[in-house]
Amino acid sequence: MKKRRAVSYEMKKRNSGYLFISLWLVGFSLLFLVPFVTSIVYSFNDVQIDVGRLIMEPVGFANFRRMFLEDTDFLPSFWATITSLVKVPFIVMLSLFIALLLNQNFHGRTLARSVFFLPVIIMSGPVMTILNTDTFFSAVLGSERASTLVEFASAQDLLKTAGLDNVVSSYIVNVTSQLFTLVWSSGIQILIFLSGLQAVPQQYYEVAAVEGATSWEKFWKITFPSVAPMMLVNIVYTMVDLLLGDSSSMYSRIQFAISQVDYSYAASMALVCFAVWAALILAVYWIINRYVHYTID
């Protein structure tokens, strides 16, 4: 009779870990890896649709040459998508500020949290499609944006009078005039910050109060270090949302190419964007993660 081989505790933990991520691995392989490899194949071929099949003719780097040398709309859309990342600090800071307010103990706190999370529900595909096709809603948004721009025209003059450079003042006014859009894009980030704030032990604040720390000192010595890991997560999430969201210029370009049944060119653009976006996100993650501490000293 064969003896059963003893399984170490480390082996059991390793097997449990593999079992835990097995569904993720299946989803990653089927929903990302296979389409990713298919996109790479499409980008180096001219894909034509035939009855019941796709015909692919190798064209080498022709799609990439077309992208950078012939398509006059690609680089402007590409650059516009990258410059949209200037909103990241404002969205993250605004989310933290709102999360700090919502974390206070006041009547109607649950309702207030629901209101700030409402944009996440509305941004879902069917609901947003209905709102975009609604003439009254579009008119309301249009008038609000127009009035906001008029109000901040004088603000830019004030900033110039204060001695700020034209580029800096234009940047501040441009982002501030989009306050409605920034709040609209902050639902998930607010929830992540809230989860981090609620996980901070209250004993830290009690000890700080006994030591005579001010609210400002409590924020920088306790609150901010505690939510620093969540800030890193929110920065990465916001970057991905801006680069790949429905409002992204490159997303619209790729969708237009797909609608024209130009799959090979759409795959080429998606491949270039994936490489650049991944490099940007990894660089930001590497830089910020060096300053993030997961324990309070």
Q: Collapsing DSSP states into helix, strand and coil, what is residue 166?
A: helix
Tens of pLDDT along the chain (297 residues) come to 555 565 677 888 888 888 999 999 999 998 889 989 999 999 999 988 887 788 889 999 999 999 999 988 899 999 988 988 888 888 899 889 888 888 887 777 777 777 777 666 665 555 555 555 544 445 444 444 444 444 444 555 666 666 666 666 666 666 666 666 677 778 888 889 988 888 888 888 888 889 888 888 888 888 888 888 899 999 999 999 888 876 678 888 888 888 888 889 999 999 999 999 999 999 999 998 888 877 665
Contacts 24+ apart (CB under 8 A), 54-59: 59/264
The answer to whether 175 and 90 have CB atoms below 8 angstroms apart is: yes
For residue 183, give every residue at least 6 positions away whose Cβ sits within 8 Å of its Cβ, in sequence order, or none: 94, 98, 116, 119
Q: Tell me, what amino acid is at 228?
A: A
Which domains, ranges and CATH numbers included, belong to the chain? 71-289 (1.10.3720)
DSSP state of 58: E
pTM of the model: 0.73
